[in-house]
Structures are given as structure tokens and as C-alpha cells.
Amino acid sequence: MPERQNCQFFLLRYVPDAVRNEFVNIGLVLLPPHAPAEFRLAKDWSRVRALDPQADLEMLDAFGHELQLQMGGEETRDVVLKKIEDWFSNSSQATEYKGCLTDSPAQEADELARIYLNASRRRASREKGPRQMIFRRIKKEFELAGVWRAMRKNIPASQYTRSGDPLKIDCGYGVNSTIKMFHATPLRSEINAAKALAFTFPQFVEGLRRAEGAQAQLTAIVEDGLQRENEAVVFAMEVLQDQKIKIAPLAELPQIAELAAREIRI
């Protein structure tokens, strides 16, 4: 019979507004005494959406996937929290330790996730977040230019990076051995979306070169009127530019779509 182990676990909470301090449990980390950490992520984002209609669910998926990949050793709570902080900035909190006795840390993590993370589905809010609003503008301008149907959509990064990568680039097209891509990337309230995009893009570039012999060009479509005095916005822009990702505000979309129309029809 397997020996029972004294394990510790804590919850990861999504806290969109630190002043109101309302939260949703989105993750669970169980730390066995002599084995790798067990990490579980919520399977249903309905409670997150109910709390924060503008939550970037794509970023949450990318965060969970990357954290899972990094938890390969015997992590301490401080190490795990550092990884979480690197991704989530001020939008997350970790609870205090709780103890549990189990002969199977993996099964115990599954059961704790069922209790703390997984809830019955709720009807999603009809309110659209900033990423969805930017994406609708992107689609509209390319439709007006008559090229939307000819473009690639939801380009899966996993084709060029590694299996399981959840990122999908919104749209793109090929011209002269270059794939020009465009992705809705709100910066005013969701700088982690920029971090997730910048993290993946270098691997995407190399994978596309190997798979198709093509170069990758990515433009992040951002809000109009971003204030350069905002430190968070400046940080997000620098993160993107460091990875050679172009930045264009919504106001430039008509010109971008017009150029796409000329190039696609060559």
C-alpha cells in the first residue's frame, strides 16, 4: 500500500480589482514533500467572465499552459509564486498553505481542483472585452477592403512552436515569402496579453522558417489614444518591440487593409 504523504497546497486567485478585492479561484498548486508540484487550472472560465467581463481568457489559458510546462522539478512555494508573479503582475493572489494527507498527490490535486476550481457553467456575459472589440474592427476593415475571405484566420502557434501552445494569431496573409499577421492586443488594461504574445513570437518565427521557409511579420493592433506617460503601456510596447513585433493603433487599420488588398491581389 502506498505511503501516505503530508502535502501542502495553495490556491491561485484572479483579482481584477485590488481595491474591491473580489476574486475567483483559477488555479491550485499541490506540493508533495519529495515529488514535483501538481498544478491544476480551472476548466471553466464562466466565473471569471462573470466577475470581469473584460478578462482576457486567451491570456489565462496561455499562462496556465506555460506554468504547467515549467513545473518539472521539486518546486517550493516561493519558486512557484515567483513564476506566477512574472506572468500575472498584480492580477493574482496566492492563499496561505493548507495541509492534506494523501497516498496519491496527483489524485488529491484532481479532487481539490474539483472542489475549489470547477463550477457549473454559467451563461457568458454578452459584454465584449477590449480584445474582442479590437478584433471586430480588424475584421471589419479587412472585409471592407474585400480581402478577409482570402486571409488565414486563427493561425495556431502550435503548428510552429510546440504541441499544446494555445495561442492563435487572429489573421494574416502571405506575400513575397513573408507571412504578415495581425493580432488584437489591448494594452490599456491587459498588458499581460502583450507579454504572452512576445513570449511566443520568437519560437513562432523560427518554427515558420523551418516549416514553410517563410519569414514572419506580426503587427499588434492596439487601442487609439494610448498615453505614453502610462508606465504599464510603455512597458507593454517595449516588450513587443523587443521581439520585433510592430505596433499599430486602430486608426491605421484602413491603410493596413488597403495595403493588404493591393498585395493579396498581386
Residue 230 reports pLDDT greater than 90: no
183, 200 in Cβ contact below 8 A? no
Reported as a pLDDT band with limits 50, 70 and 90, residue 1 is low
pLDDT of 84:
63
108, 100 in Cβ contact below 8 A? yes
- Cα dihedral sign for 85, 223, 16, 139? negative
Distance between CA atoms of residues 5 and 133, nearest Å:
49
Residue 129 reports pLDDT greater than 70: yes
Reported as a pLDDT band with limits 50, 70 and 90, residue 191 is confident
Burial of 65 (0-12, 13-18, 19+ CB in 10 A): middle
Summarize the confidence of residues 174-182 as an average pLDDT. 94
Percent pLDDT > 70 in the chain is 83
Summarize the confidence of residues 209-233 as an average pLDDT. 90
- Go through 196-207 and write b for each residue having 16 or more CB atoms within 10 A of its CB, e for each that does not: bbbebbeebbeb
pLDDT for 151-160, tens place per residue?
Answer: 999 999 988 9
pLDDT of 143:
94
Strand partners, 247: 220
Instruction: Identify the three-state secondary structure at position 10.
Output: strand
Residue 250 reports pLDDT greater than 90: yes
**Matching residue, cell 456575459:** 125
Helix (H) / strand (E) element for 154: namely: strand 152-156
pLDDT for 192-210, tens place per residue?
Answer: 778 888 888 999 999 999 9
Reported as a pLDDT band with limits 50, 70 and 90, residue 221 is very high
pLDDT for 30-81, tens place per residue?
Answer: 888 888 888 888 888 888 888 887 777 777 777 777 666 666 555 555 666 6
What is 189-239 written as a DSSP string? S-HHHHHHHHHHHHHHHHHHHHHHS-EEEEEEEE-TT--TT-HHHHHHHHH
pLDDT of 95:
83
